[in-house]
A and B are shown apart, each in its own frame.
Chain A
Amino acid sequence: MIVTLRLSTMSPPTSPILSVQPTRGLVDEKLKVVVESLPPGSPVTLHSLHHSEDEDYWEAFGHYVSDFRGMVSVSEDLSFGGTYTGKEDMGLLWSMRPVPGSRKGLRLRKMNVCSPMLHNISVYSGHVSEGFREQTPLTSVLVERWYMAPGVKRIDIMEKGVRGTLFIPPGPGPFPGLLDMWGGGGGLIEYRSALLASHGYVSLAMDYFNSQELESADLEFKYFETAFNIIKEHPQVIPDRVGMFGLSLGSLVTMHVAAESTIVKPRCCICVSGSHFYPRDRTIKEVIMEPRSNSHRLRIDENNHHVWRDMWIHLLDDPSKKVDVGKINCPILLVNGKDDQNVPADECAEDIALLMNAAGNGHLLSRVLYPDTGHLIEPPYSPHFRASNFKAAGVATKTVMLLWGGQTKPHSDAQEDAWRKILSFLQHNLYSSTPPRAKL
Chain B
Amino acid sequence: MMDRKQCIVKLFVQPSRGLVDEKFIILVQKAPPGYQLTVHALHKCEDGHSWEAFGHYISNAIGTVNVSEDPSLGGTYSGVEQMGLLWSLRPVPGSKPGLRLRKMNVQIPMEVTISVYQGHQTEGFMDQVPLASVVVERWYMAPGVSRIPITEDGLTATLFLPPGPGPFPGLLDLWGGGGQLVEYRASLLASHGIASLALDYLTPKITMETRKMVDLQYFEKAYKILEQHPQVHGSSIGMLGLSLGTSITLKMAAYSEVMKLRCAVCISGSHVQPVDGSMEDILKHFNKNADRTRVSEENEFIWRDLLLPVPSDLAFKVDMGRLKCPLLVVVGEDDQNWPASESAMDMKEMMEQAGNSHLLTVLSYPNAGHLIEPPYTPHARASLFRSMATREKMMALWGGETAAHSLAQEDAWRKLLVFLRENLYSGTNPGTPSLSHL
Q: Which residues 93-148 of B have a CB within 8 angstroms of A?
A: 111, 113, 115, 129-137, 139, 142-144
Q: Which residues on the B side are within 8 Å of A341 (C-beta)? A: none
Query: Is the Cβ of B435 less than 8 Å from the Cβ of A7?
Result: yes
Chain A nearest CB: distance from B264 CB in Å? 15
Q: Which residues 7-33 of A have a CB within 8 angstroms of B?
A: 7, 10-15, 17-18, 21-26, 29
Query: Is the Cβ of B169 less than 8 Å from the Cβ of A12?
Result: yes
Q: Which residues on the B side are within 8 Å of A150 (C-beta)? A: 16-17, 111, 134-137
Q: Which residues on the A side are within 8 Å of B433 (C-beta)? A: 39
* Partner-contacting stretch, out of B40-48, B160-168, B326-334, B339-347: B160-168
Does A48 sit at the interface, judged by CB under 8 A?
A: no
A-B residue pair count with CB separations less than 8 angstroms? 151
Query: Is the Cβ of A200 less than 8 Å from the Cβ of B10?
Result: yes
Residue of A nearest to B132 (CB): A171
Does B1 sit at the interface, judged by CB under 8 A?
A: yes
Query: Is the Cβ of B164 less than 8 Å from the Cβ of A17?
Result: no
Does A126 sit at the interface, judged by CB under 8 A?
A: yes
Does A212 sit at the interface, judged by CB under 8 A?
A: no
Query: In whole angstroms, what is the CA distance A25 to B133 when docked?
Result: 19
Query: Is the Cβ of A24 less than 8 Å from the Cβ of B426?
Result: no
Partner of B139, one of A24, A70, A126, A139: A24
Query: Is the Cβ of B437 less than 8 Å from the Cβ of A125?
Result: yes
Does B11 sit at the interface, judged by CB under 8 A?
A: yes
Residue of A nearest to B32 (CB): A436
Contacts A125-B437, A138-B436 given; does A171 touch B130 at CB 8 Å: yes
Query: Is the Cβ of B164 less than 8 Å from the Cβ of A137?
Result: yes
Contacts A42-B434, A171-B130 given; does A23 touch B165 at CB 8 Å: no
Does A433 sit at the interface, judged by CB under 8 A?
A: yes
Query: Is the Cβ of B428 less than 8 Å from the Cβ of A37?
Result: yes
Does B7 sit at the interface, judged by CB under 8 A?
A: yes
Binary per-residue interface labels of chain B (1-36) against chain A in the complex, 1 for a CB within 8 Å, 0 otherwise: 111011110110011111100100000001010000
Q: Which residues on the A side are within 8 Å of B142 (C-beta)? A: 23, 141-142
Q: Which residues 100-124 of A have a CB within 8 angstroms of B?
A: 118, 120, 122
Q: Which residues on the A side are within 8 Å of B197 (C-beta)? A: none
Query: Is the Cβ of B425 less than 8 Å from the Cβ of A140?
Result: no
Q: Which residues 197-227 of B have a CB within 8 angstroms of A?
A: none
Query: Is the Cβ of A170 less than 8 Å from the Cβ of B135?
Result: yes
Query: In whole angstroms, what is the CA distance A151 to B167 when docked?
Result: 37
Residue of B nearest to A151 (CB): B135
Query: In whole angstroms, what is the CA distance A140 to B19 when docked?
Result: 18
Interface centre among B10, B16, B163, B432 (most CB of A within 10 A): B16
Q: Which residues on the B side are within 8 Å of A136 (C-beta)? A: 165
Does A434 sit at the interface, judged by CB under 8 A?
A: yes
Query: Is the Cβ of B15 less than 8 Å from the Cβ of A37?
Result: no
Query: In whole angstroms, what is the CA distance A4 to B437 when docked?
Result: 7
Does B430 sit at the interface, judged by CB under 8 A?
A: yes
Chain B nearest CB: distance from A305 CB in Å? 37
Query: Is the Cβ of A17 less than 8 Å from the Cβ of B437?
Result: no
Query: Is the Cβ of B164 less than 8 Å from the Cβ of A39?
Result: no
Does A40 sit at the interface, judged by CB under 8 A?
A: yes
Binary per-residue interface labels of chain B (357-397) against chain A in the complex, 1 for a CB within 8 Å, 0 otherwise: 00000000000000000000000000000000000000000
Partner of A4, one of B6, B139, B429, B436: B436
Query: Is the Cβ of B1 less than 8 Å from the Cβ of A149?
Result: no
Query: Is the Cβ of B438 less than 8 Å from the Cβ of A26?
Result: no
Does A158 sit at the interface, judged by CB under 8 A?
A: no
Does B309 sit at the interface, judged by CB under 8 A?
A: no
Chain B nearest CB: distance from A177 CB in Å? 13
Q: Which residues on the B side are within 8 Å of A42 (C-beta)? A: 434, 437
Interface centre among A122, A144, A149, A170 (most CB of B within 10 A): A170
Query: In whole angstroms, what is the CA distance A154 to B69 when docked?
Result: 34
Query: In whole angstroms, what is the CA distance A2 to B432 when docked?
Result: 20
Does B285 sit at the interface, judged by CB under 8 A?
A: no
Q: Which residues on the B side are within 8 Å of A139 (C-beta)? A: 164-165
Query: Is the Cβ of B425 less than 8 Å from the Cβ of A24?
Result: no
Interface centre among A24, A43, A171, A437 (most CB of B within 10 A): A171
8 inter-chain pairs at a CB distance below 8 angstroms, sorted by A residue, are: A4-B436, A25-B17, A125-B437, A136-B165, A141-B164, A150-B137, A172-B130, A437-B6
**Seed contacts A3-B438, A140-B163, A151-B135; 16 additional CB < 8 Å A-B pairs:** A2-B437, A4-B436, A7-B435, A12-B235, A12-B423, A13-B168, A13-B233, A14-B425, A23-B142, A40-B430, A126-B437, A150-B17, A150-B111, A170-B135, A172-B129, A431-B8
